[in-house]
Amino acid sequence: MAHTLLRVAIPRPLFRFYDYYYEGEGIPQIGSRVRIDFGHTEMTGLIIELPKTSSVEELKPVLKLLDKVPLINAATLKFLRWAANYYHHPLGEVIQNALPVALRATRQIPTSLKWHITQTDQSETLKNAPKQQALYEFLCEEAVGIKEEVLKQKLGTSYKNTLKQLSKKALIASEICEAEFIMPTTMLDNATARLQLTKEQSDCVEQIKGIANSDSPMPVLLHGITGSGKTEIYLHAIEPTLEEAKQVLILVPEIGLTPQLTQRFQYFFPKAKIVLLHSKLANIERMNAWLAAQTGQADIIIGTRSAVFTPIPRLGQIIIDEEHDASLKQQEGFRYHARDLAIKRAHDQKIPIIIGSATPSLESYYNVQSGRYHYLLLKKRPGARVQPEVLLQDVRGLPLEAGLSPPLIKAIKAHLEAGNQAMVFLNRRGFAPALYCPQCGWHAQCKSCDANMTYHAHKQKVICHHCDYEETVKPACPDCGNTHISTKGQGTERLEHTLQTQLPNSHIVRIDRDTTQQKHALTEKLKVVNAGDPVLLIGTQMLAKGHDFPNLTLVGILDVDQSLFSTDFRAWEKLAQLVIQVSGRAGRAEKKGTVILQTSQPEHPFFHTLLTGGYLAIANQSLQERKNWHFPPYAHQMLIRANAAKQEHASNFLQDLKDSIAEHASTDCILLGPAPSPMEKRNNRYRFQLLITAKNRKQLHQMAQEMTINSENIKKRGGLRWSIDIDPIDYS
């Protein structure tokens, strides 16, 4: 038997690979999984190379070859290797990230049986067995055979028995084939009537098609104001790709939005096979969707960030909706940005990519300015719809009720009475962000984090929003015994409470993480809102994006002032994105929308710039500042984080790491730290960070590589954990 050498990447935080040999049935190939003995545990790795020789003296055999056909094709593996290098993350873990959970261990790819008739039409002989006759005649029509799943779909549960009887009579036979991973039930018979594109939209589509036809298409940034009909552009843009029988990958930030989106794609392309890839799916469902993409069965793959790693053999185009959204970046473990990776993937495969947003990230906008991306602007809403009007409400000196000013409450009342819907946005859940004793100053603090606990009135608990630790509220202050405990500030729960008192006849729907935990809860709530009756919506971030509420005419935005004074150089960008995205939920139908932005800083230059110049004015001004200060995108950053049981364990490690590269660090690099993270203690771990800024990306990568190597020789105490974050967007 043949004896093949294999190099295997394993899902462990190790930057090296391991050699094994294979002896047995089948031919091991790059991209197939193998079961191996590693140390004293069994695990599943992926073959990444078939080396001619190995420096290992006593090679072990693999325990089992799990895939006869590679699970990860060559182009995808190359892409994963690139990602592992770029983010300085072990390839084995990157591969693990790319695989659906159900395929991370030993499960084999499901197969199916394909049935066909064995001789010329014998249906006459089945006259007395109508079920068998029906199935037989069905098979007669398809000379190449029909898969079991399809027969089951057509004939119902008794199909198995009928097949058995026919096969006993030797009238039909079967062979093993690829399983059918998508059932045709989701497809529609007919397309619904298409919208007539506006002139602006059709101009965009024409340009996109032109670019798509070039040999190495330039990425397109589609900047379309909220409600301008970007989805319609995506639909038209991918039509030629689907007609060429190629597959399309669509990345979206959040899955709450995909039901609506999926429907629109299915209506536009009734015959297309569409699959969804996201973390709310059951493991088997997700595996089937992934395999549908991987085998080429799916035409359109709609997924959240990790879908960017899916092997797609006939990938012809990529779309990223809401490209500015922070959830496209994974913030733990393997810290990658799906947008940046998608751009790289499209570039390597020479396929068109569109990234769209009403509020493009400044990184992407900068790429437009420097000529790397093509820019398209949609500045109108179709039809009679107009952008909502944004009004600043100065709250200084006004009597606030749970943070709501009298003019805002009055406006909400008026809009509801006129039969419309209103929404109040506050990005904080719970009743109040602090519970304290007015007598002695005691605050309910998390014992594991440097953070106040949030008071949740309904549960009568204080909960830490950083580590989820919770405690039942005690009747008296634990320090002085005072029984008049008080709260400070407000969250959505309190808003609901106050507004229900102020507007007793209104129907309030609160949407936040606490009210949508149960499966379908969000769908049910959105259904109520979409029914169109006067409803007052209260919500957090979850309401900020994507949703289309036709009857919503008023939006109130609370508590934005803090971000005006943030030290994060992205604060303006993030705040402008938030205000525009939240505002964009209003005035979606023919009714004009109004936005009331409460602030005690109405003269702040941020508001002036945003209200007079719009998003691009904020973008241009922020870019100018970043240029002056050498911040990204004019420089490149990486953030090294460490956490441990004691402060000195974390800070000493980072100091040693910094010292180990100090002599190589060029004068173009700025090393800041080690310094405590903004939240120094979290979940009983002390957190420190080292921020490195460099003009030149290469230098940054060299340093990252050196640190990875040097870290092996640095003492790690207190259960130290550390990580590299390339192109960080969150510094907490």
Binding positions for Zn ion, rule: CB under 5 A: 437, 439-440, 442, 446, 448-449, 464, 466-467, 469, 477, 479-480, 482
Q: How far apart are CA 140 and CA 510, in angstroms?
A: 57
Near ligand ADP in 439-498, by CB under 6 A: none
* Residue facing ligand ADP at closest CB distance: 229
Binding segment (CB under 6 A) for ligand ADP, from list 219-227, 240-248, 344-352, 662-670 = 219-227
Q: How far apart are CA 278 and CA 680, in angstroms?
A: 32
Q: What are the start-end ranges of the H helices in 124-280?
A: 130-140, 148-155, 159-168, 199-212, 230-243, 258-268
Is 446 marked as a binding-site residue? yes
- Selection from Zn ion, ligand ADP, none that 548 binds (CB < 5 to 8 A by kind) is ligand ADP
> How many amino acids of this chain bind ligand ADP (CB under 6 A)?
16
* Pair 247, 351: CB distance under 8 Å: no
- Selection from Zn ion, ligand ADP, none that 634 binds (CB < 5 to 8 A by kind) is none
Residues 6 or more apart whose Cβ sits within 8 Å of residue 531: none
Using the rule CB under 6 A, is 394 a contact of ligand ADP? Answer: no
Estimate the crossing angle of helix 148-155 against helix 130-140, to 10 degrees.
130
Taking residue 261's Cβ as centre, other Cβ atoms within 10 Å add up to 18
Q: Which is nearer to ligand ADP, 195 or 414 (CB)?
A: 195
Q: 439-448 contacts: CB < 8 A, separation 24 or more?
A: 439/477, 439/480, 439/482, 439/484, 440/477, 440/479, 440/480, 440/482, 442/477, 442/478, 442/479, 442/480, 444/471, 448/681, 448/682, 448/683, 448/684
Q: Which is nearer to ligand ADP, 204 or 362 (CB)?
A: 204
Q: Which is nearer to ligand ADP, 268 or 436 (CB)?
A: 268
Q: How far apart are CA 415 and CA 587, in angstroms?
A: 12
- Nearest-approach distance from CB 197 to ligand ADP, in angstroms: 5
Binding segment (CB under 6 A) for ligand ADP, from list 220-228, 249-257, 422-430, 498-506 = 220-228
Q: Which is nearer to Zn ion, 30 or 451 (CB)?
A: 451
- Selection from ligand ADP, Zn ion, none that 482 binds (CB < 5 to 8 A by kind) is Zn ion
- Selection from ligand ADP, Zn ion, none that 644 binds (CB < 5 to 8 A by kind) is none
Task: Identify whether 313 is preceded by a cis peptide bond (ω within 30 of 0).
Answer: no
- Nearest-approach distance from CB 377 to ligand ADP, in angstroms: 12
- Nearest-approach distance from CB 589 to ligand ADP, in angstroms: 8
Q: Which is nearer to ligand ADP, 223 or 278 (CB)?
A: 223
Indicate which single residue of 227, 256, 556, 587 sits in contact with ligand ADP (rule: CB under 6 A): 227
Report the run of H or E that residue 494 belongs to, with start and end.
Answer: helix 492-502
Using the rule CB under 6 A, is 516 a contact of ligand ADP? Answer: no
Residues 6 or more apart whose Cβ sits within 8 Å of residue 378: 200, 201, 204, 222, 223, 224, 225, 228, 229, 230, 233
Q: How far apart are CA 132 and CA 116, in angstroms?
A: 14
Q: How far apart are CA 612 and CA 615, in angstroms?
A: 9
Report the run of H or E that residue 390 belongs to, with start and end.
Answer: strand 389-394
Indicate which single residue of 210, 383, 478, 613 sits in contact with ligand ADP (rule: CB under 6 A): 383
Q: Which is nearer to ligand ADP, 164 or 527 (CB)?
A: 527
Indicate which single residue of 97, 133, 231, 361 sits in contact with ligand ADP (rule: CB under 6 A): 231
Is 477 marked as a binding-site residue? yes
Indicate which single residue of 70, 92, 219, 224 sits in contact with ligand ADP (rule: CB under 6 A): 224
> Residue 487: CA atoms inside 13 Å, Cβ hemisphere, count?
20
Q: Which is nearer to ligand ADP, 179 or 204 (CB)?
A: 204
Residues 6 or more apart whose Cβ sits within 8 Å of residue 223: 356, 357, 358, 360, 365, 375, 376, 377, 378
What does the DSSP 8-state code read for residue 404? Answer: B
Estimate the crossing angle of helix 130-140 against helix 159-168, to 10 degrees.
80
Look-up: residue for tokens 């594109």? 197
Indicate which single residue of 2, 69, 195, 480 sits in contact with ligand ADP (rule: CB under 6 A): 195
Q: Which is nearer to ligand ADP, 175 or 206 (CB)?
A: 206
User: What mask of x and - would describe binding to ligand ADP in positions 529 to 558, judged by CB under 6 A?
Assistant: -------------------x----------
- Nearest-approach distance from CB 383 to ligand ADP, in angstroms: 5
Using the rule CB under 6 A, is 266 a contact of ligand ADP? Answer: no
Q: How far apart are CA 387 and CA 533, in angstroms?
A: 22
Q: How far apart are CA 311 and CA 293, in angstroms?
A: 7
Q: What is the distance, to the nearest Å, from the Cα of residue 694 to the centroid of all Cα atoms in its chain?
A: 28
Is 437 marked as a binding-site residue? yes
Token pair, residue 682, equals 């979290």
Using the rule CB under 6 A, is 593 a contact of ligand ADP? Answer: no
- Nearest-approach distance from CB 7 to ligand ADP, in angstroms: 45
- Nearest-approach distance from CB 364 to ligand ADP, in angstroms: 16
- Selection from Zn ion, ligand ADP, none that 383 binds (CB < 5 to 8 A by kind) is ligand ADP
- Nearest-approach distance from CB 679 to Zn ion, in angstroms: 9
Using the rule CB under 6 A, is 226 a contact of ligand ADP? Answer: yes
Q: Which is nearer to Zn ion, 225 or 449 (CB)?
A: 449
Q: Which is nearer to Zn ion, 500 or 683 (CB)?
A: 683
Residue type, 396: R
DSSP letters along 511-577, please?
ESTTTS-STTHHHHHHHHHHT-S--EEEESGGGTSS---TTEEEEEE---HHHHT-S-TTHHHHHHH
Q: Which is nearer to Zn ion, 324 or 466 (CB)?
A: 466
- Selection from Zn ion, ligand ADP, none that 466 binds (CB < 5 to 8 A by kind) is Zn ion
Using the rule CB under 6 A, is 229 a contact of ligand ADP? Answer: yes
Indicate which single residue of 7, 89, 230, 658 sits in contact with ligand ADP (rule: CB under 6 A): 230
Taking residue 253's Cβ as centre, other Cβ atoms within 10 Å add up to 22
Taking residue 646's Cβ as centre, other Cβ atoms within 10 Å add up to 14
Q: Which is nearer to ligand ADP, 48 or 235 (CB)?
A: 235
Residues 6 or more apart whose Cβ sits within 8 Å of residue 481: none
Q: How far apart are CA 548 and CA 262, in angstroms?
A: 14
For residue 27, CA distances in Å to 42, 48, 65 come to 21, 14, 9
- Nearest-approach distance from CB 439 to Zn ion, in angstroms: 5
Using the rule CB under 6 A, is 198 a contact of ligand ADP? Answer: yes
Is 669 marked as a binding-site residue? no
Tell me which residues touch ligand ADP (CB under 6 A): 195-198, 201, 224, 226-232, 382-383, 548
Q: Which residues are annotated as a binding site?
A: 437, 440, 446, 449, 464, 467, 477, 480
Q: Which residues carry a binding-site annotation for Zn(2+)?
A: 437, 440, 446, 449, 464, 467, 477, 480
